[in-house]
Amino acid sequence: MYIKNINLISYRNYEILQLKLEKSVNVFIGDNAQGKTNILEAIYYGAFAKSHRTSKDRELINWTKDKAYISLLVGKNRLDKKIDINILRDGKKAIKVNNIKINKIGELFGTFNVVMFSPEDLKVVKEAPSLRRRLLDMELSQLNSKYYFNLVQYNKILDERNVLLKSKNFNIDVLDVYDIQLIEYADYIISKRLEYINKINFYGSDIHNEITSGKEKIKFKYSCTINLDDYKNNYYKKLKDNILRDRDKGITSVGPHRDDFNVFINDIDTKIFGSQGQQRTSILTMKFSSMKIIKETTGEYPVLLLDDVLSELDNNRKRYILSSIHDIQTIITCTGIDDLRYYLDDKAKIFNVLNGQILN
10 Å Cβ neighbour count for 27?
21
Specify binding-site residues.
30-37
Alpha-carbon span 261 to 185, nearest angstrom: 19
Spatial separation of the C-alpha atoms in residues 227 and 220, rounded to whole Å: 18
Residue 50's closest CA among 148, 119, 122?
148
> Do residues 93 and 101 make contact, with C-beta atoms less than 8 angstroms apart?
no
Binding residues for ATP, as ranges, are: 30-37
Helix ranges (DSSP H) in the chain: 36-48, 122-126, 129-143, 145-166, 172-211, 231-241, 243-249, 270-273, 276-298, 315-322
Helix (H) or strand (E) holding 307: strand 303-307
Residue 4 and residue 80 in contact, taking contact as beta carbons nearer than 8 Å: yes
Question: Closest by alpha carbon to 271, among 123, 162, 139, 133?
Answer: 123
DSSP helix/strand/coil, 253: coil
| List of residues 6+ apart from 124 with CB closer than 8 A | 131, 132, 135, 283, 286
Rounded Cα distance between 224 and 238, Å, is 12
Spatial separation of the C-alpha atoms in residues 299 and 205, rounded to whole Å: 22
Taking the C-alpha atoms of residue 40 and residue 290, their distance in angstroms, rounded to an integer, is 18
Q: What are phi and psi of 63, to 5 degrees?
A: -60, -15
